[in-house]
Amino acid sequence: MVKKQLTFTINSLVRKNILSMKPYSSARDEFKGTAEVYLDANENPYQSLYNRYPDPLQLAVKKEIAKLKNVSAQQIFLGNGSDEAIDLLIRAFCEPTIESIVIVEPTYGMYSVCAEVNNVTVQRVSLTENFDIDTEVILTTVTPYTKLIFLCSPNNPSGNLLSREKIETILNNFNGLVIIDEAYIDFAKSKSFIGELKNYPNVVVLQTFSKAWGLAGLRLGICYASEGVISILNKVKYPYNINTQTQQLALEALGRKEQKDRWVDEIIAEREKLIQQLAALKIVQTVFPSDANFLLVRVTNANHLYETLMHKGIIVRNRSNVKLCNDCLRITIGTSEENRKLIQALQQL
């Protein structure tokens, strides 16, 4: 496919009301320095822990992430999970009842849920049989009203990376934002699309502290994009969307990056072991290739196996009613002890 000249600017993409609105300006937006006496935010002066509002732009956390990922802090948005970024992107860029997003199924459920809550049309395209994208199908589905294309790589629930070349074809030929959800990128062989921020004005990358970093309970998601896109997200977010404790704990985690890397190595090693053990079982038909911390597994009777495992106290995700995933279970890689229990339960059937 030939490379077309992209013809959009962020201001032409964003909803007109968002472009023209005046954002809320908090006390901490209006005075950013340090001072001896703070009498500007109606806080309680007696309490000493958590009595102050947090930094609305989370600059200390962003500085560390920026160093780690080789981007600027102005190319980073932090949200209450990546789910917040997904919601805000749809709300800021898609006019309800008129404009639309494209999603490629089977994939993460929140893209369509956020669009539906906002009354934004969802154009649903299917992945191919081997769970890759078909660029022709996606690009012919796009209309002048399509604002966002969501791609999940590695994809949930299939576990595979989408073809990098095909993603670049979409980036080169779509006059809107291409959101690449990299929640599982730490477990993958391929490198992140964050490095493409300088090459494509329309690339948006989502990552999260919920998976490899082990901090799902904190609710901290990261969105990397051009400064123009990030300033739009900052304009529409709640003023203090990331609480003080989350910011502190994220900073601590970023200071222990080696811990995260060791966990990732261990999970990948467990994943490769589990693939072999699952493939040797008679009830297993296919273990799909995985670049994530889970495996999609096609079995003889997924509904029955799901129930059986549940009665043995082992909970996996039944994906058998999802497009292209008939008779499939999605199994998260656990500790070696947990994985041993899973295999033992399956061998006893």
Ligand X SMILES: *Cc1c(COP(=O)(O)O)cnc(C)c1O
Under the rule (CB under 6 A), what is the footprint of ligand X? 81-83, 108, 152, 156, 181, 183, 208, 210-211, 216, 221
Which residue type is seen at 215? L
**CB 225 to ligand X: min, Å:** 16
| Tokens encoding 159 | 């576990």
Structure tokens at 220: 């901290």
Q: Which is nearer to ligand X, 152 or 230 (CB)?
A: 152
Which one, 90 or 183, has the nearer CB to ligand X? Answer: 183
> Any residues with CB less than 8 A from the CB of 311 and at least 6 apart, and which?
none
Q: Smallest distance from the beta carbon of 151 to ligand X, in angstroms?
A: 10
Query: 108 or 174, CB closer to ligand X?
Result: 108
In the complex with ligand X, which residue's Cβ is closer, 100 or 210?
210
- The minimum distance between CB 278 and ligand X, in angstroms, equals 21
Phi-psi region of 120 (alpha: psi -120 to 50; beta: other; left: phi over 0): beta
Give the chain's length: 349
Strand pairing class (294-299; 284-287): antiparallel
Backbone angles phi, psi at 121, to 5 degrees: -65, 140
Q: Which of 250, 192, 221 is nearest to 85 (CA)?
A: 221
The answer to whether 150 and 105 have CB atoms below 8 angstroms apart is no
Nearest distance in Å: CB 256, ligand X: 19
The sign of the dihedral angle between the CA atoms of 243, 218, 151, 269 is positive
CB of 40 to ligand X, least distance (A): 32
Tokens representing 86 are 């997904």
Look up residue 11 and give its two tokens: 């201001």
Is the sign of the CA dihedral 2, 190, 276, 314 positive or negative? negative
**Cβ-based nearer residue to ligand X, 10 or 157:** 157
Shortest spacing between CB 188 and ligand X, in angstroms: 13
Closest CA to 41 of 258, 299, 304, 240: 240
99 or 181: whose CB is closer to ligand X?
181
User: CB-wise, 183 or 230, nearer to ligand X?
Assistant: 183
- Chain residue at closest Cβ approach to ligand X: 81
CA pair distance 347, 281, nearest whole angstrom: 7
Q: In the bound complex, what is the minimum distance in angstroms from residue 260's beta carbon to ligand X?
A: 15
Tell me how far, at minimum, the Cβ of 264 lies from ligand X, in Å.
Answer: 15
Q: Which is nearer to ligand X, 180 or 287 (CB)?
A: 180
Tokens of 139: 């690009």
Q: From CA 328, how far away is CA 260, in angstroms rounded?
A: 29
**Cα–Cα distance for residue pair 160/155, rounded to 1 Å:** 6
CB-based burial label for 209 (10 Å; 0-12, 13-18, 19+): buried
* Cβ proximity to ligand X, 1 vs 117, nearer residue: 117
CB of 99 to ligand X, least distance (A): 22
